[in-house]
């Protein structure tokens, strides 16, 4: 039975299986052969649907990041817009931590990503930011989100600090990382985002004053 009357595989099914394996086993563990095995198929069959592993991973990343919400800009409040956008971005990545390197390395050349970037750019300009600033602010917010997803204490750092606590008194006194890693991750991101937005509000006043004068 070389070909059943109804196809076994489909792009959505392949993506779903890939994401589930990445979530469960990790990004490095995934291979086209193992993915095929999970789908009861030969590795070569996958290439009838995706031209490369890279293309497949790119579309998996697209699917995950498509849940990013830019509707917070609708109200016309740029601060609320950036804040809710960044938080939904972070939430999307936090649901699939093992996929983060793919999203981070992703070219961002996807249609959906450009559409969202366009929304952000347009909303910021309408709110009164100069286009150049709008671009920089969109980039900066992404720095925070991607940096937070990548550097998460919950993924690796925690245990070692505890081990070395005698040698680094300031660290051991400070945070008890291994117990509260996820909570500190969240609080650090919230602090960074709030501080960033507070600081931007001051820049906004300065920029408006000079462009009006």
Partner DNA sequence: ACCTGAACACCGTTCAAGT
Interface with a second copy (CB under 8 A) = 101, 104-105, 107-109, 114-115, 117-119, 121-122, 125, 131-137, 139-140, 142-148, 150-151, 153, 156-157, 160-161, 164, 167-171, 173-175, 177, 184-185, 187-189, 191-192, 194-200, 202-203
Shorter beta-carbon distance to DNA: residue 13 or 139: 13
Interface with DNA (CB under 7 A) = 2-4, 7-9, 30-34, 36, 41-45, 47-49, 51-54
Burial of residue 181, with CB atoms counted within 10 A of its CB: 0-12 exposed, 13-18 middle, 19 or more buried: buried
| Contact of residue 188 among DNA, a second copy, none (CB under 5-8 Å per partner type) | a second copy
* Shortest CB 61 distance to DNA, Å: 15
| Contact of residue 33 among a second copy, DNA, none (CB under 5-8 Å per partner type) | DNA
| Contact of residue 74 among a second copy, DNA, none (CB under 5-8 Å per partner type) | none
* Shortest CB 31 distance to DNA, Å: 3
* Shortest CB 21 distance to a second copy, Å: 19
* Shortest CB 41 distance to DNA, Å: 4
Could you tell me the two tokens for 68? 């990013």
State residue 60 phi and psi, 5-degree precision. -65, -45
* Shortest CB 62 distance to DNA, Å: 17
């Amino acid at each position: 039975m070389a070909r059943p009357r109804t196809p076994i595989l489909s792009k959505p099914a392949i993506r779903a299986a890939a994401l589930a394996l990445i979530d469960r086993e990790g990004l490095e563990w995934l291979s086209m052969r193992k993915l095929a095995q999970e789908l009861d198929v030969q590795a070569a069959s996958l290439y009838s649907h995706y031209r490369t592993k890279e293309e497949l991973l790119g579309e998996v990343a697209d699917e995950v990041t498509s849940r990013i919400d830019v509707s917070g800009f609708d109200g016309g409040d740029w601060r609320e817009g950036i804040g809710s956008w960044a938080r939904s971005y972070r939430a999307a990545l936090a649901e699939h931590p093992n996929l983060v390197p793919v999203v981070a390395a992703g070219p961002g050349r996807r249609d959906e990503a450009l559409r969202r970037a366009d929304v952000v750019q347009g909303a910021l300009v309408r709110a009164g930011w100069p286009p150049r600033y709008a671009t920089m602010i969109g980039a900066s917010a992404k720095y925070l989100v991607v940096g937070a997803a990548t550097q998460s204490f919950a993924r690796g750092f925690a245990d070692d600090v505890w081990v070395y606590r005698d040698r680094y008194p300031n660290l051991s006194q400070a945070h008890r990382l291994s117990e509260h890693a996820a909570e500190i991750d969240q609080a650090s991101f919230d602090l960074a985002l709030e501080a960033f937005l507070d600081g931007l509000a001051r820049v906004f006043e300065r920029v408006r004053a000079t462009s009006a004068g």
